[in-house]
Structure 1
Amino acid sequence: MKKYLVIIGSFLLILASCKQAKTETIEVTESSTEETKDLAINYEELGMKYAFDTKAVLGKNLMGTIKEKGVNAAVEFCNIQAYPLTDSMSVAHNVHIKRVSDKPRNTENQASSIELRYIESFKKAIANNEVPKPILDETEKEVTFYYPITTNTMCLQCHGTPNKELDAEAYKTIKALYPNDLAIGYHDNEVRGIWRVNFNKE
């Protein structure tokens, strides 16, 4: 009788151990899922950081020029310094940062067919008073991040309606520097283009 009790006791211990092992396996799987979610969020956060750091540098320099020399000088500043400043931020972060638009001032900033679709989706979100969400295109090794560039009062001094927010002198300079300019006629809180940030996965 004692022999049977020992056998039954051993069998119950084995079952208990199996059940515990199964539970631990489930917990590890759930933890791994959470880590995967966190990783995806990190890429979004990284893209936002790169775009907003660049926006801050451009904005600071542009506002300083407007304050010291006026809007006309700011147009000339952008023509000379916008690309070098953006490139310097790309080098600083070891990424590739670019601004593209469906209505570019510089033809080199023309959005691709895919980017045009993204711009339209951002326009719809803002028109519906929704907070736009970044778009991530991912491959096995890279991430390309997209986020809208929206207009404000300062932007309209160079991108608003001629002879209204955009004064005649600044508009004349724009036409001289950018003969194919399309980036005018905007109103407040409209999508003027998008940030495109490409970087390697960590």
Structure 2
Amino acid sequence: MKKVLPILASVIIIGLIANCQFKSEPKPEAKQVDPAAYTMKGKELATATQKVLGGNLKAAIESKGTEHALEFCNVKAYPLTDSMAVALNAAISRVSDQPRNAANTANEDELDYITHAKKVLAEGGEVTPKLAQLGDKVVGYYPIITNQLCMQCHGNPDSQIKDATLAKINQLYPADEATGYSEGELRGIWVVEMDIDGE
């Protein structure tokens, strides 16, 4: 027993010394961001992407009509958004609580923002963007508000959407949830994910 105690004491002391020497490094603090600067940057990126999509959509309607524009959206909306994301060095997507394409279904955080934004609009307020920092990224949510042009494909199916257009919607998007809107409503949101500068 007398021989075991010194050995045990030595093991404990060595263990304590080793533990002190190999303490884990403290985690680096998250970089502080300027919310106003990133909100503006995200808005610029969302607006630029909206202009490209909207311009192409309007051209498709003017050249071959609304049904052609639906085919254009079905095939070209994702590639155009992706190319803008690459050009602008950000991840950009459109999501909704009533998606036309199931791939554009909002997640829980996005749904929270959409629900809040709809409430603000219903009370006559103005919807403002939301910004969140997630590690080394900043994510911004930006509202997409319906206008007169939107009503051709997203308005009331009984009074605003032509039968041929509705048939094309049902053909291309059998699980469509994106009709029944009025002008000035929240159709969905742009989600813009930006790297924090210097990352």
The TM tier, using the shorter chain, reads 0.7 to 0.9
| TM-score, length-scaled by structure 1 | 0.79
| 1-structure distance, mates of 2:126, 2:157 | 29
Q: Which residue of 2 aligns with 1:114?
A: 109
| 1-structure distance, mates of 2:134, 2:58 | 37
| 1-structure distance, mates of 2:158, 2:135 | 50
Q: What secondary structure is seen at the aligned counterpart in 1 of 2:150?
A: helix
Instruction: Name which of 157, 166, 172 aligns with 1:162.
Output: 157
Q: Which residue of 2 aligns with 1:8?
A: none
Flag as ranges the 4+ runs of structure 1 deviating above 4 A. none
- List per-residue Cα deviations over 1:30-67 (Å, max 9, x = no partner): xxxxxx88x22110000000100000000101111111
Give the number of the structure whose residues are more often helix, by fraction. Answer: 1
How many equivalent pairs are there? 166
In the TM superposition, residue 132 of structure 1 has moved relative to its aligned partner by 1.2
| 2-structure distance, mates of 1:75, 1:141 | 37
Matches within 5 A, 1:9-20: none
Q: Which residue of 1 aligns with 2:192?
A: 197
| 2-structure distance, mates of 1:134, 1:188 | 20
Instruction: Name which of 167, 170, 188 aligns with 1:175.
Output: 170
- Work out whether 1:98 is the aligned partner of 2:96: no
| 1-structure distance, mates of 2:90, 2:153 | 28
Q: What secondary structure is seen at the aligned counterpart in 1 of 2:110?
A: helix
Q: What secondary structure is seen at the aligned counterpart in 2 of 1:137?
A: strand
Q: What secondary structure is seen at the aligned counterpart in 2 of 1:153?
A: coil
Matches within 5 A, 1:1-202: 39-202=34-197
| TM-score, length-scaled by structure 2 | 0.81
| 2-structure distance, mates of 1:194, 1:93 | 18
| 1-structure distance, mates of 2:106, 2:37 | 26
Q: What secondary structure is seen at the aligned counterpart in 2 of 1:182?
A: coil
Q: Is the 8 A contact 2:35 2:131 kept in 1?
A: no
- List per-residue Cα deviations over 1:3-54 (Å, max 9, x = no partner): xxxxxxxxxxxxxxxxxxxxxxxxxxxxxxxxx88x2211000000010000
Q: State the identity %.
A: 45
Change in 2 beyond 3 A, CA 1:114/1:40: closer
- Residue type of the partner of 1:201? I
- Residue type of the partner of 2:123? N
Larger Rg: 1
- List per-residue Cα deviations over 1:80-128 (Å, max 9, x = no partner): 1111110010000111000000000000001111211110111111112
| 1-structure distance, mates of 2:65, 2:158 | 16
Q: Which stretch of the first structure deviates more once superposed, 153-162 or 123-132?
A: 123-132
In the TM superposition, residue 140 of structure 1 has moved relative to its aligned partner by 4.0
In the TM superposition, residue 129 of structure 1 has moved relative to its aligned partner by 2.0
- Residue type of the partner of 1:167? K
Q: Which residue of 2 aligns with 1:29?
A: none
